[in-house]
């Protein structure tokens, strides 16, 4: 009888937790922006593959671990029509959530500097509970041996991405289908997730003629909401040196502080590391959270002959202006 009560309590508890839980948290959300917004696909004139692993609350038994892998690009690397695919695996205790998603995005040029991307991301997710790993009060009870609770859902996300070289603003809605789908066993547990990300770029020593190291400062924020969890926001201040090395400070509201560092290797491969330490009541029971992020650029857009001519003409004009200014001084 005691075992049956524990099983009933556990299943009800998991169901309640699943309906209220937020999607995964990544400290360096800008290196994982494809996860937060489907409109990112194709916004860069490259084909790129990324993988991120997050080990949360190290030392805490049953703490979450997250793996995200994705590939995205645009047709002919033109930054107009984007596509991609991503795999997500989230594990917490005896529960595991696995999803596979496809992606489509279209990018519109609003002006010479401003673009708008609209994206959609359909997918399939499976939620599993390994009941045989549950710790019961009656030791040695074999009622749960080999048992696995499994449920599935179809999922759709959508979003927009407004961006230029100076700023970016994006918003997305996840789990759009939610409870409207009746033929699956897990859609009834999905709540709408709202996410907004924004930031702007400050360029210091951007002129190569000064021969000083270029420095880019990028303040950014992320805001998330899912009912009934309170609104949570994250702020990050990132500084990039010489377009290759970066470091950032992170603060997540009422939850954690952290740092992020990384570097670009040979213009194709980038590696990043993030660490955050929770400020909540769990701080005494864990050793912080670690993230490792790897990114590889498979291909880039090659400049056309017209673009090469424009670049050459611009260089000649700049040299001519410089020569005229020097002659005036003399």
Counts for the chain of helices (H) and strands (E), in that order = 3, 15
Nearest CA-CA partner of 74 in 118, 42, 120, 121: 42
One digit per residue, the tens of pLDDT, for the chain of length 330 reads 333 333 333 333 343 334 445 677 888 888 888 899 999 999 988 999 999 999 888 877 778 889 999 999 999 888 899 999 999 999 888 888 899 999 999 999 999 899 999 999 999 988 888 765 555 555 555 555 557 678 888 889 999 999 999 999 999 999 888 777 777 777 777 888 999 999 999 998 766 666 678 899 999 999 999 888 888 999 999 999 988 999 999 999 878 899 999 999 988 899 999 999 888 776 677 778 899 999 999 988 776 555 555 565 666 666 677 667 666 666
pLDDT digits (tens, 9 = 90+) for 75-112: 988 889 999 999 999 988 888 889 999 999 999 999 98
Question: What is the Cβ-side half-sphere exposure of residue 319, based on CA atoms within 13 angstroms?
Answer: 6
- Report whether 45 contacts 79 (CB < 8 A): yes
Give the tens place of pLDDT for each residue, 286-316. Answer: 778 899 999 999 988 776 555 555 565 666 6
Closest CA to 45 of 310, 299, 308: 299
Q: Are strands 289-300 and 202-204 parallel, antiparallel or unpaired?
A: unpaired
- Residue found under tokens 């017209």: 306
SS3 188: helix
Overall pTM > 0.75: yes
Instruction: Return the closest-CA partner of residue 174 out of 189, 159, 153.
Output: 159
As beta bridge partners, residue 210 has none
Domains in the chain with CATH codes: 2-329 (2.40.160.40)
């Amino acid at each position: 009888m005691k075992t049956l009560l524990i099983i009933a309590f556990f299943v009800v508890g998991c169901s309640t937790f699943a309906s209220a839980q937020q999607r995964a948290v990544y400290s360096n959300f800008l290196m994982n922006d494809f996860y937060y917004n489907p409109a990112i696909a194709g916004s860069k004139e490259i084909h790129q593959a990324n993988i991120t692993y997050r080990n949360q609350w190290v030392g805490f038994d049953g703490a979450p671990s997250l793996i995200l892998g994705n590939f995205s690009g645009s047709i002919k690397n033109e930054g107009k029509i984007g596509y991609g695919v991503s795999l997500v695996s989230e594990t917490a205790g005896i529960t595991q959530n696995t999803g596979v998603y496809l992606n489509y995005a279209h990018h519109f040029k609003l002006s010479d500097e401003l673009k708008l991307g609209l994206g959609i991301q359909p997918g399939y997710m499976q939620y599993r509970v390994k009941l045989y790993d549950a710790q019961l009060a009656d030791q040695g009870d074999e009622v749960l041996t080999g048992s696995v609770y499994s449920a599935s859902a179809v999922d759709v996300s959508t979003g927009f991405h407004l961006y230029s070289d100076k700023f970016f603003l994006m918003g997305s809605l996840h789990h759009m289908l939610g409870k409207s789908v009746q033929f699956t066993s897990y859609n009834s547990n999905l709540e709408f997730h709202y996410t907004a990300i924004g930031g702007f770029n400050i360029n210091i020593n951007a002129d190569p003629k000064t021969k000083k190291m270029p420095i880019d400062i990028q303040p950014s924020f992320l805001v998330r909401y899912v009912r009934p969890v309170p609104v949570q926001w994250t702020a990050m201040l990132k500084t990039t040196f010489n377009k290759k090395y970066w470091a950032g400070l992170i603060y997540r509201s009422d939850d954690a502080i952290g740092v992020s560092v990384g570097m670009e290797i040979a213009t194709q491969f980038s590696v990043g590391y993030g660490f955050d330490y929770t400020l909540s009541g769990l701080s005494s029971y864990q050793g912080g959270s670690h993230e490792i992020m790897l990114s590889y650029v498979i291909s880039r857009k090659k400049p056309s002959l017209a673009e090469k001519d424009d670049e050459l003409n611009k260089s000649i004009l700049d040299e001519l202006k410089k020569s005229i200014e020097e002659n005036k001084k003399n």
